């Protein structure tokens, strides 16, 4: 029932949230390992934002406990993702988006803007990618939560932008507690909001796509050989990432 309800919500609104889906201890362990990596990256690249003013993206490492199988192979999440697409989805991106203090509102936009068929960019298509995200901190109104315009993934791009600009559709902030998981359609109009705190707002993201789709649109890290060998064959078949020789 949970899967059916969330798939319906995802198809209707373009996003859904699984509340307290993972234990806070699982997220704390990941954060404790990743935070020094994040701070070192920001120390080096703070003045070189790659996602707009005071906004950064960096690929996530595959070394445990930054990477744990629960993040990628959760049966409830995979059930929703597969129900919305098909049984042969693969994960192909694992990254972290981080707005810092002094970041500003982004314009409403969609992700992965290159159309599947360039000769028919406005063609309405079933979902062939979904994004699964969760925070390493509680993400409240002051931390720069993502805002999403519900239902705009089912509209033409210009029509959706016009509806948002005219406030016919309101952007909804998605506030996340530790352990909450956001699943969203990347073509639902959304934007980042300002982080008004001194704490980097680390939002980790896994992208799932239908097995035939690839675009190499974001940098990814290599899976260490020891980590790869620790996965089952079924888990390996779900991962489309470079593997250490």
Using DSSP, state whether 116 is helix, strand or coil.
coil
pLDDT at site 123: 82
pLDDT at site 1: 53
Q: What is the dihedral of CA 90, 92, 95, 99, to 10 degrees?
A: -90
User: How much is the pTM?
Assistant: 0.96
Once rounded to an integer, what is the mean pLDDT over residues 219-240? Answer: 98
Report cis status (omega within 30 of 0) of the bond before 100: no
Domains (range + CATH), the chain: 2-110+126-237 (2.60.120.620)
pLDDT at site 104: 97
CA angle 56, 216, 205 (to 5 degrees): 45
- pLDDT tens-place string over residues 110-133: 997 788 888 888 888 899 999 999
Q: Which residues contact 186 (CB under 8 A, 6 or more apart)?
A: 110, 111, 112, 129, 130, 131, 207
Cα separation, 162 vs 1, in Å, equals 35
């Amino acid at each position: 029932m949970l899967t059916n309800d969330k798939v319906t919500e995802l198809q209707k609104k373009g996003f859904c949230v699984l509340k307290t889906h993972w234990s806070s201890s699982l997220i704390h362990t990941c954060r404790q390992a990743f935070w020094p990596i994040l701070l070192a990256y920001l120390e080096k690249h703070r003045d070189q934002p790659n996602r707009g003013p005071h906004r950064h993206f960096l690929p996530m490492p595959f070394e445990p406990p930054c990477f744990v199988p629960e993040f990628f192979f959760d049966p409830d999440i995979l059930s929703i993702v597969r129900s919305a697409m098909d049984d042969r989805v693969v994960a192909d991106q694992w990254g972290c988006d981080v707005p810092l203090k002094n970041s500003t509102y982004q314009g409403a936009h969609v992700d992965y803007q290159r159309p599947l068929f360039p000769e028919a960019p406005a063609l309405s298509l079933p979902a062939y990618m979904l994004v699964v995200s969760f925070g390493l901190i509680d993400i409240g109104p002051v931390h720069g939560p993502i805002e999403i315009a519900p239902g705009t993934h089912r509209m033409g791009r210009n029509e959706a932008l016009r509806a948002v600009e005219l406030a016919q559709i309101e952007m909804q902030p998605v506030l996340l507690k530790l352990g909450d998981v956001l699943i969203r359609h990347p073509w639902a109009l959304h934007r980042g909001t300002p982080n008004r705190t001194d704490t980097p707002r680390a939002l980790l993201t896994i992208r799932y796509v239908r097995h035939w789709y690839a675009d190499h649109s974001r940098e990814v890290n290599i899976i260490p050989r020891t980590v790869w060998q620790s996965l089952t064959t079924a888990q390996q078949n779900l991962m489309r990432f470079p593997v250490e020789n």
